[in-house]
Amino acid sequence: MEALVACYGDGSSDSDSDSESSPSNPSLAYSEGQALLPTRSTDVREPFSEVCVQPLPPPPIALLHPPNFLGPQDMQIHQTNKVRSFPHVDGNYALHVYIPINISSPSKKELAAFLKKISSQEPSLHVVDVDVPLNILCKNDEKLEQVALGREFHISLGRTVPLRVHQIDSVVSMLRNKLQTQQHYWIDFNNWEVFVNDDRTRTFLSVEVVHGGLVEIRKQIEAVNAIYRLHNLPEFYEDPRPHISLAWSLGNTSDSLKKVVGEEMKKSVTGKSLKKCVFTCKFRGIECKIGNKTYTICKVSDR
């Protein structure tokens, strides 16, 4: 807001440079949600001394503090010491095979309510992929649903591994050949769970597939593993647990996070019948991302 406030100065300065200058970094003004004010044209035929410069009126308070604005303090991305799972090598591209998952609007509300309860006791949680502190978003239900739950999630069918450029066509072709005949099925996310990555640098709050869709997903993982083996790529975990992750915290905080999640799950079913699943969605296909390019492996139409 400093840039906007500066534009609405008290007009007391008589310096030519002060009245003529424009923001030195326009992109900064835009990044803070500010609209740049037009500067006075330098092509003025009358002497500057004859130009009457009137001070600008004060801005509306609503402009300085818009009600639904996610400001820099909300969107601040903290230094989280992200570590690559494998070193960068020229000619290598990150390969990831996954099932895209989108959460329906009714399910978002229930998930958001649970996330708010967890975040109130675990303030270190951040939103996956956005890196916004979860407790900041929890102050506004609309922001929470839009930012934390409005994006596309994924169920991994294989590890994210480095792929050589000459292997790309072969991997994509084999994935399509193996997985093109997939049938429609429902995926039930039955359980809240906590996972820790391989190097113990991050802990994830996730929802896991325990029953509906588990058999089909594991068969898809087996097919991806077979293709990975042919290309000398590391296979998936021996006992895969399909899930999507909604939030993360730095380091291994699994003990405290599991305790909080367990307590909240008990509260949510006290006096109520045990709910069969957290939410459910249709299997719509499989995608493969290599570097910055996404390939459609198979697509299942709605019935």
Active site residue 65: no
Strand, coil or helix: what is 99?
strand
Q: Which of 78, 166, 231, 243 is catalytic?
A: 243
Pick the catalytic residue: 154, 184, 211, 231? 154
Question: What are residue 203's DSSP bridge partners?
Answer: 196, 249
For the beta sheet containing 186-196, the strands, ordered from the edge strand earlier in sequence to the opposite edge, are 126-127, 243-250, 202-209, 186-196, 279-282
Distance CA 258, CA 74 (A): 26
Partner residues linked to 296 by β-bridges: 287
| R_g of the chain, CA atoms, integer Å | 26
**Backbone torsions φ then ψ of 50, nearest 5 degrees:** -90, -5
Quick one: CA torsion of 85, 86, 91, 95, rounded to 10 degrees?
Answer: -40
126 flagged as catalytic? no
**Catalytic residue list:** 154, 243
